[in-house]
């Protein structure tokens, strides 16, 4: 995640509390089960929590998702490469985008 950026919509300088991040990630997990993805909250000591999302049909298709509060007070889900996924208030959109990225190629 990009920390300390100055323009609106970027993450704030003050780190979000780990619990607030974990709470939002925890809310996203159930939305992903409808896409047959597994999600597990990872909370390493001294590090930012993440949600490990895996496509069980193709375990190589996995990604860590983060939650962060922007300077304007809005919460967003973020990819590990610091790109926004969707607002944390829109769990359905976030789950759909994650599922799209982690979808296994169709054979046939």
**pLDDT tens digits, one per residue of 7-59:** 334 444 445 699 999 999 999 999 999 999 999 999 998 899 999 999 999 99
- In this prediction, residue 105 carries a pLDDT of 81
- In this prediction, residue 2 carries a pLDDT of 33
- In this prediction, residue 46 carries a pLDDT of 87
- In this prediction, residue 53 carries a pLDDT of 98
Measured CA to CA, the distance from residue 34 to residue 95 in angstroms comes to 9
72 neighbors 66 (Cβ within 8 angstroms): no
- Nearest residue to 80 via CA among 108, 52, 40, 45: 52
Within 10 angstroms of residue 76's Cβ, the number of other Cβ atoms is: 22
State the DSSP code for 82. S
**pLDDT tens digits, one per residue of 60-87:** 999 999 999 999 999 999 999 999 999 9
Measured CA to CA, the distance from residue 21 to residue 79 in angstroms comes to 14
- In this prediction, residue 108 carries a pLDDT of 56
- In this prediction, residue 4 carries a pLDDT of 31
Ramachandran quadrant class, 9 (left: phi over 0; alpha: psi -120 to 50; beta: rest): left
In this structure, the chain runs to a length of 108
Beta-strand pair 84-87/62-69: unpaired
Residue 44 contacts by C-beta under 8 Å, 6 or more apart in sequence? none
């Amino acid at each position: 995640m990009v920390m300390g950026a100055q323009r609106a919509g970027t993450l704030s300088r003050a780190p979000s509390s780990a619990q607030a991040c974990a709470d939002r990630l925890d809310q996203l997990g159930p939305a992903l089960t409808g896409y047959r993805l597994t999600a597990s909250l990872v909370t390493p000591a001294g590090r930012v929590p993440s949600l490990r999302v895996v496509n069980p049909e193709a375990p190589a298709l996995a990604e860590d998702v983060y939650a962060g509060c922007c300077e304007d007070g809005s919460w967003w889900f973020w990819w590990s490469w610091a790109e926004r996924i969707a607002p944390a208030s829109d769990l359905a959109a976030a789950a759909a985008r994650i599922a799209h990225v982690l979808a296994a190629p169709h054979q046939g």
